[in-house]
Amino acid sequence: MNISVVGTGYVGLVTGVALSHIGHTVTCIDIDEMKVEKMRQGISPIFEPGLEELMVENTEAGRLFFTTDHLKGFSKAEVVYIAVGTPEKEDGSANLMYIEQVVKDIAAHVDHDLIVVVKSTVPVGTNHYVKELLDDQVREGVRIDVVSNPEFLREGSSVYDTFNGDRIVIGADHSEAADVIEEINKPFGVPVFKTDIKSAEMIKYASNAFLATKISFINEIANICGKLGADVESVANGMGMDKRIGSMFLNAGIGYGGSCFPKDTKALTQIAANIDHDFELLKSVIKVNNNQQAFMMNQAKERFGELAGKQAAVLGLAFKPNTDDMREAASIVLCEQLLNQGVAVKAYDPVAMDTARKVIPEDVQFVSSPEEALKEADFVFIVTEWQEIQEIPLASYIKWMKTPVLFDGRNCYALKEVRKHSIEYHSIGRQPVL
């Protein structure tokens, strides 16, 4: 089919590339000219394993196009995917400004019947709002169907997830429109779940809120384990064997970050508040997560007392491995707190240095290897569990650091390995090695 995708962020670009890969003709539209030019040259504006290769392959095959021109982008489209951002407003609710702009662009440029698919995460009721706006604004006689098709991709593995997802959720008022979207997605071979529009919108928020709850829950258990002498990894393994609980998303750490969980949990509490429902559980999940980000800082203060004048290494800056995304990354808060305490900070990330420079305080010194960050450091914060960081031999900390004191926010090392070295090691929900 002929498809247009508006917005080439993580969701839009991956969707566009993947749809072209299964044989559709796809035009990705973005207002950012530099970005579009880059993509035309085969350069992906985001770091996402496997994405650039797939992008180049499908562009060369003549199935994938990039433009800033809405008229051109919409002229032959049978289906338009909306994948623009829904940033957080000050009160935590979702800002629909970009979606409203796409609606205006569609109305201005489309003169044929169309299915509009909303991929962006939007509050319950937004798809119907989009339908109303379109019906008001499109030319006489043009029929627009709106379908909710929320996204469940994880950054860092979004290409893999597209072809191996657990489900594709399609919410529609008319079964014909839902059938078209099902047909488009058929080659992915992923199970399809069809429902009404509002339920589809809610599935997205409820899924992210549930996963965030799982993380805050295990982090609370970790904090208790740490004090009681239990080991959270064993506890999580033992819990996870119960199929009703499942072993995934039970990794204790310094909390969740990224563009989705923090934003979507806040938005859902706001959606609930709008109908006078106090979503107490989710509010606690958010509070636990905020506290958890500062966990290593508290450990360091307890260990050293005074931190001023010390030198720290920060390993890993991205909010999680395999991405250059720095949104809501724990490293931002931690670097700020270290600097406020008078600590000199050297930071390293395998991929996210450029994005990090824009959001990390400038007094942080960026270095180009773990060795440079660790050289002469009094202590290290391990913030992101990149494979490269997990593979740093424990002996290297002894060799490079002034004093090998490790605070590991992602439980990268097995305690039995750490015990073989003269290292002081503090992790999450496990006993310190002193």
User: Which residues bind to ligand UGA, rule: CB under 6 A?
Assistant: 121, 151-155, 208, 211, 215, 249-251, 253, 256-258, 260-261, 264, 319-320
Nearer to ligand UGA, 123 or 404 (CB): 123
Residue 324 phi/psi, 5-degree rounding, is -100, 15
The CA R_g of the chain, rounded to the nearest whole Å, is 24
| The 64-67 sheet, strands edge to edge | 64-67, 25-29, 2-6, 79-82, 114-118, 144-148, 168-172, 192-195
How far, in Å, CA of 155 to CA of 321, rounded?
A: 9
Q: Is 399 annotated as a binding residue?
A: no
- The tokens for 102 are 């796409």
165 is in an annotated binding site: no
Q: CB 319 → ligand UGA: shortest distance, Å?
A: 5
Measured from the Cβ of residue 97, the count of other Cβ atoms closer than 10 Å reads 12
**369 CB burial (10 A radius; 0-12, 13-18, 19+):** exposed
CA pseudo-torsion sign 49, 55, 61, 63: positive
DSSP labels for 249-313?
T---SS---SSSHHHHHHHHHHHHHHTT---HHHHHHHHHHHHHHTHHHHHHHHHHS--TT-EEE
Q: Is 260 labeled as catalytic in the residue annotation?
A: yes
SS (H, E, C) 132-171: HHHHHHCCCCCCEEEEECCCCCCCCCHHHHHHHCCCEEEE
Q: How far is the CB of 256 from ligand UGA (least distance, A)?
A: 3
Strand partners, 94: 88
Single out the residue of 284, 286, 304, 287 nearest to residue 296, CA to CA: 304
Distance in Å, CB of 413 to ligand UGA, minimum: 17
Nearer to ligand UGA, 386 or 397 (CB): 386
28, 260, 335, 412: which one is catalytic?
A: 260
User: Which one, 25 or 251, has the nearer CB to ligand UGA?
Assistant: 251
The partner residues of 315 in beta bridges, in order of sequence, read: 348, 382
Question: Residue 273: which residues within 8 A CB-CB, separation 6 or more?
Answer: 279
- 110 versus 170: smaller Cβ distance to ligand UGA: 170
Cα(51)–Cα(43) distance, integer angstroms: 10
CB of 162 to ligand UGA, least distance (A): 11
- Who's near 324: CB < 8 A, 6+ residues apart? 46, 47, 318, 351, 352, 354, 355
Tell whether residue 266 is among the known ligand binding residues.
no
Q: Which is nearer to ligand UGA, 67 or 157 (CB)?
A: 157
Q: Tell me if 417 is assigned to a ligand binding site.
A: no
The smaller minimum CB distance to ligand UGA, of residues 209 and 433, is found at: 209
> Is residue 250 part of an annotated ligand binding site?
yes
- Six token digits for residue 321: 């491995």
Q: Is 222 annotated as a binding residue?
A: no
252 marked ligand binding residue: yes
Minimum distance from residue 197 beta carbon to ligand UGA (Å): 18
Is 251 labeled as ligand-binding? yes
12 is known to lie in a ligand binding site: no
Minimum Å gap between C-beta 179 and ligand UGA is: 24
The edge-to-edge listing of strands for the beta sheet with 424-426 is 365-366, 344-348, 311-315, 379-382, 405-408, 424-426
Measured from the CB atom, the residue of 201 and 264 that comes closer to ligand UGA is: 264
Closer to ligand UGA by CB, 73 or 321: give it. 321
Q: How far is the CB of 247 from ligand UGA (least distance, A)?
A: 10
| Closest distance of CB 78 from ligand UGA, Å | 26
Residue count of the chain: 434
Q: Is 104 annotated as a binding residue?
A: no
Q: What is the dihedral of CA 428, 429, 433, 434, to 10 degrees?
A: 90
Annotated binding-site residue numbers for substrate:
152-155, 204, 249-253, 257, 320
Annotated binding-site residue numbers:
30, 35, 86, 121, 152-155, 204, 249-253, 257, 263, 320, 327
Annotated binding-site residue numbers for NAD(+):
30, 35, 86, 121, 155, 263, 327
Question: Which positions are annotated as active-site residues?
Answer: 260
